[in-house]
Structure formats: structure tokens, C-alpha cells
A and B are shown apart, each in its own frame.
Chain A
Amino acid sequence: MKKTVLLGALTVAGLAAGAAAAGTLDDVKARGTLNCGVTTGLVGFAAPDANGEWAGFDVSICRAVAAAVLGDSKAVEFVPTTGKTRFTALASGEIDMLARNTTWTFSRDVDLKFEFTGVNYYDGQGFMVPKELGVSSAKELDGATVCIQTGTTTELNLADFFRANNISYEPVPIETNAEAQQQYLAGACDVYTTDASGLAATRATFDDPAGHVLLPEIISKEPLGPLVRHGDHEWGDVVRWTLNALVSAEELGVTSANIAEMSAGSNNPEINRLLGSEGTLGEMMGLDADWAKSAVMAGGNYGEIFAKNIGEETPVGLARGLNAQWTNGGLLYSPPFR
């Protein structure tokens, strides 16, 4: 009897002790792999392919960070998380970073004690309905049954939107994207709502993508980005600047095709600093001089990653839109490498 009590207490102790470990960068280097939290499966963003290899837009960020830190883009342990489990996984140290279309909000940053290291996709919440319903605006959805992933900002936006427009709805809370898809396709809900990018990605997997429309209303700002635990600024810097390196590489015309010759030295000092042939930027962060080169070589620059996973040539078919470089009228704007 006494023994079981003790064992139980030890288990709880093990659970409680997980938090608060300083020096994630050193931990990752010592471990030799990066533990990266991703979705349980959203085509284009993070999903295992036919060979069981994780691939996608968010996955590429994980791979770039692994390449920058460890020099090996394959040295990533992917941890699938749901909308509900992701923050606990990160806070407890089970994962080193979370790249899972997570919206950067004030309370998550300040109250949940996380550090968002930038935005890798500017998104907004949208609605998808079957074409045969004949709905052309979200304001016509009075009384509709809405499938929604639970534990997300979409849940709160949805409540706000319907309240602001004084129309009623019936929420059907769902754990994962796959279950939502099942219910939506069976007609158990009229509408599926989540980030517009997620809707496009989900629609791409349907048998009949043309039978479903995305409504014009985008009811929220959803800047999605990778995040790390609060307080470990060295690690936060690594993730932030790896993302910035990918964005800068696109802006500077560095691609996975020409990076070998570029890294030998070019006449653009910013490219030289980025790729490590000039200056000591890598050393300042505790990484090798060619960290950014490895990061870009892992999957290409931001534009290449976008085009390969979710761009207009892919089944997901998203336009760059807000996610174009600032020079092309988008919002992508990396601080300088100096």
C-alpha cells in the first residue's frame, strides 16, 4: 500500500519536474536532434508523405533550424500535436520549438509565456461551405452548424463574429483536422471554419475540390509563426534569425540552386554576411559560420519553400498575397543581417 503511494508520488514528481531547463541550444546540440512540434497532419503545412517522411511548409522551418544548428536537415524528431496539446508540449520541454500554424496573440505571448520568433504565414480565418448550399457570404450563415477545431483562436473569433453580426450558430467542437473533414463531408456540419490556408489545404485533399467554396469574409488576423519558450533568448534568436535568413535569402536572390557559388563570396556584402564569408554573425549566435547556408540548402529560401509546399502549382494552390516580399507589395520584411 505504502509502496503504491510512493510510486504514484514519484510519477507526479516526474511530470512536474519537466519544466524550466535553460540552454535549449546546448540541449539540442548535445542531443543531436531537434524536437519540433507540428500538426497531426495538414497537407502542405505538415504531413507525412507516402514514405513516412514529414514534409510541408511548417516542416521546412523545422528542417531549416535543424540544418542551421546541427548541419543536418534530417536531424529532426517531429512531434505531432493537436490544438489542445501543443502549448503544454512546448511549456514542458517535450519539444524545443513549435511550428504548427499557431497564431501570434497577445495573451499567448505575454500570459502563456511563449516567444513568437516571427511570422512565417500571414493568414486569416475563413469559412468553407459546399457549393450546393448556395451561400455567398458568411453573414447568411444564420442557424448553421459550424465545425471548428477546439482550443484555437478560431473558436473565439467565431463567437465574436456571430455575436457582432447578431446571428446564431451551432458550434461542433472537434479535436483534429481529419475528424473535422469527416464531419464536414458527411454533412454533419454546414460550414468548416479555420485559417484560410488550412481550408485551402483541406479542400485540396477532397475528391471534389470544386464542389466547395471559400466565402469571401476573412474574419480575423492570423499571423502564424514558430514559437519557443519564454526566457531562453539565445534559442529564440536562433529560431528567429533562421526564419529571417530564409526570408532574406529570397529577397537577396539566394536560392538553393545558386547558393554554392554565392557562398564562395559575392560583391553584395549583405549576402556575404548572411552566408558567412564575411563577418562573424554565426559565431555571435553560437553557430557555425555557414549556418544560414545550411538553412537555405535544407529546403530553399522562403519563396522556394512556399512554392514547393503550398504555392499555386501545388494542389493547395495558395497565392502569395500578403506573404509576398515587401518589395512586391507583401508583408515579408526581414531585419537586416548586419
Chain B
Amino acid sequence: MTTLSDPPQESFRLSQLIYDTRYRSMTIQIIALIGFLLLLGWLFGNTAQNLADLGKEPSFRFLSEPAGYDINQRLLEYNSQDTHLRAAFVGLLNTLVVAVLGCITATILGVTIGVLRLSSNWVVSKLMMIYVETFRNVPVLLWIVFVMAIMIETMPAPRAFKGENPASSMMLNDSVAVTNRGVYIPEPLFTNTLGDVHLFGAASMRFDVSLDLLALMLVLGASLWGASWFRKRADKIQEVTGDRPKTWHVRLGLIVIPTAVLLYVLGFHLGYPELKGFNFKGGTHFRNSLIALWLALSLYTAAFIAEIVRAGIMAIDHGQSEAAAALGLRPNRTMKLVILPQALRVIVPPMISNYLNLTKNSSLAIAVGYMDLTGTLMGITLNQTGRELETVLLTMLIYLAISLSISAVMNMYNNRVKMVER
């Protein structure tokens, strides 16, 4: 009888790290990681050493010094005596404004064009194809400069509005002025204003929130909620009785009347732009730098979004629409109830990267003199203080934060619309 002894215990030898396939990949990864960390360390060390040799130790103290320069488009109260940090904050808001406006416009345009490109009308679909190909294949910087150049060269200067027989006149009953410095539209004003709330005291991040706007948004929100509750009630009644009560007049009233009453109480009126001295005064001024950037970014990104939307719709099997038609759904109901909910699952993830692209492309603003974050913090502040490393790092960090926030929000939305697998 033979006794089976345990298999010989394999002792670990160092050479196994290279020759044993169980360990080899781990060895390589660890060596690569160490090499990478060493490189990183050398990089930081080298930069710090070079800066020290130049006598420029990294410091962020410049942020609290007065900026000394003016910014034309400011959503917050700011003057040249405020700090560099405040100037950067004003620039950041300008970046966000153009990014938000751009994303909204690009989405609306892109979805429309994407759907139209699938149109059975030959002329419409070819026109949309031409649009997509021209905008997608020319660098966005050129579009920005192009739009700006057109606005500067073709629109009248404010002085053309002057005199007895002006060469140009205002539009829409003297309420809108289109000039080569931008577009002036009437602004909402309140006689019985509720005033502003000042947040953050005297800090660089301080800003005022208009109570009028807040009240309006509250009332409008409550009205919308009421209207949607009313609609749901109608749905329930329809489910039980099969008859749908007429609700549109009540819902319209619910939305319009409280807002109108509030506007009346606040003394809402419009402030019209008026030519005074060199420029139009009053009204809201959309500078042509904002318009050029907004328009060019939207048109450019819309071309990409159109392709995504087209791809998303085409990804839905044709049998789906045939089945919907067989059930008697009209084409627009088919699109709304059958195709789009499924297409969104394909559309939303690539949309995120397009929103990110648009936001990052907005840093081309300086080409038309739009004072965004790149123009203030990484432009004038960098130049006046000479703190290249600090300003560039800070700017990168802020863009990173913006991009990650957009991703997070869009991912939340994506989770809501994505296919629920059972």
C-alpha cells in the first residue's frame, strides 16, 4: 500500500516574479507604477527648483490683491478695485452664462436638425446634410471669428442712429437696437421692488440675489406644480370613468393669473434702450462678443448633436414604428411615445461629451474679447501678476470642476432614461 503524501510545498522564489505568469503582470504593473511616480516626482521637483531659481515660489497671495482692470460684461457688481479673485469669479460666471445658453440652443437646434435630416423630403434632408457637414468640418475658432467679423462689419454703429435722418433706426416699435456693439433689448423693471439679498458679506464671492426674481420663480414654480397636479387628477378621472374632464382653461389660469398678479403688484414695466452720448443706455445689452461666441458654439455643436440624434433614431428598429402604426398611432405620437424614449438611451451618453466640449470650447472667448474665465484669470490676471503656474493650475481646476459637475448631472439624467433591465 502506498501512502500518498502531500504534493511538495512549492516555496516562493524571486525568479517567479518574472517567469511565473501568475505574478508577471503584477510585477510589470508595479515597476511601471514606480517609474511613473518617479517621473512625476522629478517633474514636480524640477518645476519647483526652476521656479525657486527664478525667485518665484508658488503663492496664491495675488488673488487677494486689487485687480486694477475693468470687465465689460459683469453679472455681479465689480470695479477695478476689487480683487483678482473677484475678477476671476466674474469671469467664471461669464463662462457659465455662455455655456448654459450654448448648451440649450445647441440642443434645440441639434435635435431639430437631426430629425429633419431623416425627413423624407429630399430638399430638407440634403439641406440639413450640408449644414452638418459645413459646421462640423470647420474649426470652431473660425466660426467664432467669422460671426464676430460679420457683426462688426455689417451692423450699424450707434452713431448711425443719430441725427435728423438717421441711417439706421431701432426695430420693433423703437424697443430693440441692433448695433455693431451688440443688441440692446428692453429690460424688466419693477417700481415696487422687493430689493436684493446680499450673500457672503464683503467676500470676493459675494453676490446679490434679486428678491423680485426669487418671488417670481417661487410663484411660477408653485403654479406649475398646481397645474401638473390638476392634470394628474384629470388622468385619474379618465382612468376611472373613461371621460377626460376639460382642464386646459383651469391649468392656463393657474399658471398665468398668480404670475400676472405678482407682476402687477411689483409694478412691472419695461426699460427701453435709448441713445445717449456715445452708446445706448438702459435696456439689456447683449454684447456682440457674447452673441458671436454663443451663436458660433451653438451652431457648431448643433451639427454634432444632430448626428447623434440621427444615429439614436436610426438605432431603433423599423419594426417598432411599424408596430406602432399597426396599433393606430399617428406619426407624431409614434415619435413621442415609441421612438424617442428608446432613442434617448442611445442619445444621452454622447450628448454629455458634447456639452463638455461646448463648455471647454468657450475658452476660445478671448478671440472675440469675451471676458470669460480664460480671459480674466488666465488672461489679464496672469499677465498683470506674472503668476503663470498658479493661474493656469487654478483655471484647469475650475474647468475640471465645471466639467465634472456637468457629467454628474447628465449621468443622473441618463440613469433615469436608460433601459431598465429585468
Interface residues of A (CB under 8 A from B): 2, 5-6, 9-10, 12-13, 16-17, 19-20, 83-84, 87-88, 91, 107-108, 111-113, 132-133, 141-145, 150-152, 155-156, 158-160, 162-163, 169-175, 182-183, 186-190, 230-231
Whether A150 contacts B375 in the complex (CB less than 8 A), given A9-B43, A143-B277, comes out as yes
Q: What would 28 A/B residue contacts be, using CB atoms closer than 8 Å?
A: A2-B32, A6-B36, A9-B39, A9-B40, A12-B43, A16-B43, A19-B53, A20-B53, A107-B384, A113-B54, A113-B55, A144-B277, A145-B278, A150-B380, A156-B68, A156-B69, A156-B80, A160-B68, A163-B79, A163-B81, A169-B70, A170-B279, A172-B369, A173-B72, A173-B366, A186-B153, A188-B152, A231-B53
Instruction: Please report the C-alpha to C-alpha distance between residue A170 and residue B158 in the assembled complex, in whole angstroms.
Output: 14
How many B residues touch A, CB cutoff 8 Å? Answer: 51
Give chain A residues whose Cβ lies under 8 Å from the Cβ of B198.
Answer: none
Which A-B residue pairs are the 7 nearest by beta carbons? Answer: A187-B157, A151-B383, A112-B386, A159-B80, A144-B278, A16-B47, A19-B50
- Is B276's CB under 8 angstroms from A143's CB? yes
Bitwise interface map of B from 168 to 200 toward A, beta carbon under 8 Å scored 1, else 0: 000000000000110000000000000000000
- Is B159's CB under 8 angstroms from A159's CB? no
Given contacts A17-B46, A173-B380, 6 further A-B contacts (CB under 8 A): A19-B50, A107-B384, A143-B281, A151-B384, A187-B157, A188-B180
- Residue in A closest to B153 when the chains form the complex, CB atoms: A186
Give chain A residues whose Cβ lies under 8 Å from the Cβ of B388.
Answer: 88, 91
Number of A-B contacts (CB under 8 A): 139
B:23-62 near A, CB below 8 Å: 32, 36, 39-40, 42-43, 46-47, 50-51, 53-56
Give chain A residues whose Cβ lies under 8 Å from the Cβ of B277.
Answer: 142-144
Whether A133 contacts B369 in the complex (CB less than 8 A), given A13-B43, A17-B46, comes out as no
Distance to closest chain A CB from B280 (angstroms): 10
Interface residues of B (CB under 8 A from A): 32, 36, 39-40, 42-43, 46-47, 50-51, 53-56, 68-72, 79-81, 149, 152-153, 157-160, 180-181, 276-279, 281, 288-289, 366-367, 369, 371, 375, 379-380, 382-386, 388
- Is B278's CB under 8 angstroms from A91's CB? no
- Is B50's CB under 8 angstroms from A230's CB? no
- Is B36's CB under 8 angstroms from A5's CB? yes
Give chain A residues whose Cβ lies under 8 Å from the Cβ of B50.
Answer: 16-17, 19-20
One of B54, B276, B278 near A19 (C-beta < 8 A): B54
Instruction: Please report the C-alpha to C-alpha distance between residue A112 and residue B152 in the assembled complex, in whole angstroms.
Output: 36
Whether A190 contacts B80 in the complex (CB less than 8 A), given A5-B36, A145-B181, A230-B54, comes out as no
One of B72, B288, B385 near A171 (C-beta < 8 A): B72
Instruction: Please report the C-alpha to C-alpha distance between residue A17 and residue B39 in the assembled complex, in whole angstroms.
Output: 13
Distance to closest chain B CB from A294 (angstroms): 32
Instruction: Please report the C-alpha to C-alpha distance between residue A172 and residue B368 in the assembled complex, in whole angstroms.
Output: 9
Give chain A residues whose Cβ lies under 8 Å from the Cβ of B32.
Answer: 2
One of B80, B152, B159, B386 near A163 (C-beta < 8 A): B80
- Residue in A closest to B81 when the chains form the complex, CB atoms: A163
- Residue in A closest to B145 when the chains form the complex, CB atoms: A179
Instruction: Please report the C-alpha to C-alpha distance between residue A84 and residue B382 in the assembled complex, in whole angstroms.
Output: 9
